[in-house]
A and B are shown apart, each in its own frame.
Chain A
Amino acid sequence: MTAPVPRRPLGTVLTRPAVVLLAGLWVAGPLLPLAVQAFTDQWFYPDLLPARWSLSGWRQALGPQSGLAEAVATSIGIGVAVAACATVLGTAAGRALAWHRLPGRRLMELVLLTPVLVPPFAVAMGAQIVYLRAGLADSVTGVVLAQLPAAAAYTTLLMSGVWAGVDPALERQGRTLGAGPWRAFREISLPRLHGGLVVAAMFAFLVSWSDYLMTLLIGGGVVTTVPLLLFATAAGSGNQAATAAIALVAVVPPLLLTALAARQLAGGDTALLGVGR
């Protein structure tokens, strides 16, 4: 005996694809004109398509004067350093948060959220004074250190969620079998953290990759990353095609990283993203 499948009204059936389509347009929409803009030097309102196609924007963006190659190298270098440091810090802090009944754990979690909660301008202004006094301003090291708190806050929250899914009793068991504390971590817990580590490192890299304010204020114009170059080109040259080309370059690493980490993001660890638990 089979129950008849109730027919759903057409409106209900169409709602979901419509929402998905609109959301997609909302997110990806701004990128579309960018992709067109990069390949033209004449595109006037209200034309739907440019009057003329051209690669001059790309020629300028990739040419020796633009400094894009150097900016990409600087951005990658800073991003990798921030990702490495933030992931290590986040792994250690996340373990403490997840495994130990620390007094004031909730408070600490709130403190970790401050980079997200406090207006970045306020933080950056304060940081600039401190870094100037410490002699760390105008240097790549200074920029890495300045970007680290925000990135480490993300990795800590993420990793505390991942650690909460690892049984501390397993490491304890390893200790009784002759493994020292570090060895027990490496041999027993670390294999279970893999997915989380990949996602945490990716997040930290992306936080660094898109940072503008800290890099501008601490780097003092000496350290030029892709966002800085992009802003300078947009504000300084007025060359919309070159700006669009640089913007497209800036979008590539996040997309690439997301694609590379897709397996981790889609895996069982996804539930642990965000604040976890």
Chain B
Amino acid sequence: MTSGVSIETLDHTYPGATAPTLRQVTLDVPAGTRTAVLGPSGSGKSTLLSIVAGLTAPTGGDVRLAGRSVLRLPPHRRDLGVVFQRPLLFPHLTVAENIAFGMRMRGTDRVVVRHRVAELLDAVALPGFTDRRSTELSGGQQQRVALARALAARPAVLLLDEPFSALDPQLRGDMRTLLTDLHRREGTTTLFVTHDRDEATDVADHVAVLVDGDLAQHAPPAQLFRRPASLAVARFLGGAANAIAGTAHPGRFDCALGSLRLDTPHRGPGLLLVRPRAIVVADQDGPNVVPATVTAVTDRGTHLDVQAASADVILHLTTGPATPLRPGDEVSLWLPPTQLSVVGR
């Protein structure tokens, strides 16, 4: 049975370290869902996973699986599947023996094991690889076997620590698709650690952004991009190209561009964030339309990177590659209210 994971006010400081690696991290992953823990390197995300797996003991807080605290349980009693960045296949065993390892440790009946191994080899598109040695496989194949091995014993939770970052980009895309397919079949609660935001949003239904040991935001991907909780989150997600200082009031934001309509829970001084892709070159006046002068246009082939000045504010926007814009043009820019968010300074 798959079960939910609750991480509660988790603290961790490595022995001898001055700064904590994790600070009061609270994260709930309901049974059967997929959460990606996204953060730059050194943000503490691998430590978080290692604590859930039981390989690192935290300095404070609790980890619960299906409502029960597992902090006192050693890793082999936690009923988990873990895939690390390296495949770590057991070199003296065949592919089938590797996949069967977890079931063998649990004393599963041989016939059941054989069926399950065959089923998973099909699922990871490696039928007929039963008797191969791990050393005969390519990196991508090895990681597929590692995935099958982690899932074989139907663990309560699947933990993945940057599982695809050692593979080349083309293969990485295939692995994401495979992981999504596997999740559809197996339904295992998944906690996925990555530094790649595309990977996080592709694979997970919720993304938890970890910055410097703090859980900055836990939300579905779309909300994460549209309503970043802080400037740090927006920066990490590449959404801080336009950050305009001003003051938030109910239903509006007053700044150098004027009074813009939007919906934000934020009150008082803050930064208005709008992604370059969200800004629309408009052909009529109206609410949230600001006049601007194009100052620079860079043709990137697939799109144009445009800079436009409006009331001393430089706005960055991207448009289709065929948009007839040249420096000096006077334009009207529409800042759609649903695409605007405000964060504290």
Interface residues of A (CB under 8 A from B): 167, 169-170, 172-181, 183-184, 187-188, 191-192
Q: How far is the CA of A179 from the CA of B54 in the complex (A)?
A: 13
The answer to whether B92 touches A179, judged by C-beta atoms less than 8 angstroms apart, is no
Give the shortest distance, in Å, between A177 (CB) and chain B (any CB).
4
Q: How far is the CA of A50 from the CA of B80 in the complex (A)?
A: 77
The answer to whether A178 touches B92, judged by C-beta atoms less than 8 angstroms apart, is no
The answer to whether B90 touches A169, judged by C-beta atoms less than 8 angstroms apart, is no
Interface residues of B (CB under 8 A from A): 53-55, 74-76, 78-82, 84, 86, 88, 90-92, 101-102, 105-106, 149-150, 153, 159
**Complex contacts, A187 vs chain B, CB 8 Å:** 90, 101
With A169-B84, A172-B55, A173-B82 already in contact, the answer to whether A178 and B105 are too (CB < 8 A) is yes
With A169-B86, A169-B88, A170-B90 already in contact, the answer to whether A177 and B101 are too (CB < 8 A) is yes
**Complex contacts, A173 vs chain B, CB 8 Å:** 82, 84, 88, 90
Determine the residue in chain B with the shortest Cβ distance to A173: B88
Choose from A169, A176, A191 the contact partner of B92 (Cβ within 8 Å). Answer: A191
The answer to whether A170 touches B74, judged by C-beta atoms less than 8 angstroms apart, is no
The answer to whether A170 touches B88, judged by C-beta atoms less than 8 angstroms apart, is yes
**Complex contacts, A192 vs chain B, CB 8 Å:** 91-92
Known: A177-B149, A187-B101. 15 other contacts (CB 8 A): A169-B88, A173-B84, A175-B75, A176-B53, A176-B55, A176-B76, A176-B150, A177-B82, A177-B153, A178-B106, A179-B101, A183-B105, A184-B76, A192-B91, A192-B92
Choose from A176, A183, A191 the contact partner of B75 (Cβ within 8 Å). Answer: A176
Q: How far is the CA of A167 from the CA of B87 in the complex (A)?
A: 12
With A169-B84, A173-B84 already in contact, the answer to whether A178 and B90 are too (CB < 8 A) is no
Q: Could you name 19 residue pairs across A and B whose Cβ atoms are closer than 8 Å?
A: A167-B88, A169-B88, A172-B55, A173-B82, A173-B84, A174-B90, A176-B53, A176-B75, A176-B76, A176-B78, A177-B81, A177-B82, A177-B102, A177-B105, A177-B150, A177-B153, A179-B101, A187-B101, A192-B92
Determine the residue in chain B with the shortest Cβ distance to A184: B76
Q: How far is the CA of A100 from the CA of B79 in the complex (A)?
A: 27
**Complex contacts, B81 vs chain A, CB 8 Å:** 176-177
The answer to whether B84 touches A179, judged by C-beta atoms less than 8 angstroms apart, is no
Give the shortest distance, in Å, between A131 (CB) and chain B (any CB).
41
Give the shortest distance, in Å, between A267 (CB) and chain B (any CB).
15
With A169-B88, A191-B92, A192-B92 already in contact, the answer to whether A176 and B82 are too (CB < 8 A) is yes
Give the shortest distance, in Å, between A182 (CB) and chain B (any CB).
11
The answer to whether A175 touches B88, judged by C-beta atoms less than 8 angstroms apart, is no
Determine the residue in chain A with the shortest Cβ distance to B82: A176
Q: How far is the CA of A183 from the CA of B106 in the complex (A)?
A: 12
